[in-house]
Amino acid sequence: MRQAIGGGVEEELDRGTKDWWLRLQGVLLGYWPSRIVPQLHDGAQIHKFGGDILNRKPPGQHTGTQMGSGHFAHEGFKKSAYFRNILILDSEDPWKYTSPTRGDTDIIITHPHCYDAEVADNIELQWGFYFFYGGPGRSASCP
């Protein structure tokens, strides 16, 4: 089952294998095989977006790995990384998408001196639901 989301974005569920594919303007961006995420073919109760880093030396010095563009969320457009026009497929209607709201959103920041995130709501940008995130990793404020 292939569905166009808009803006050249398409998602596809292979009904036989239960694998998911994500494309943007015909370019494959993501693949989620059912053997790794077997629950995905039934939908999801929670959607998570954002960044993640791997620190192989805990509890010592924090990793120098950047998240996103390496800039904090408060630096905003043209500096920090962002997700925009986020839509969630309605489980009751496979052709209906809804936008999350601030009330639906929990922001979890485990190392606020190293990375951060913030939901934005500047409707002049016409970006729908969006958020900025990122950070430089190890720095003077993140030892």
Q: What are the tens digits of pLDDT across the range 25-76?
A: 778 888 888 888 787 776 667 767 777 777 776 677 778 889 999 999 999 9
Alpha-carbon distance of 87 to 105, in angstroms, equals 13
pTM, whole model, 2 decimals? Answer: 0.68
What pLDDT does 115 receive? 93
What pLDDT does 124 receive? 67
CB 117 within 8 A of CB 133: yes
Residues near 66 by beta carbon (within 8 Å), at least 6 away in sequence: 134, 135, 136, 137
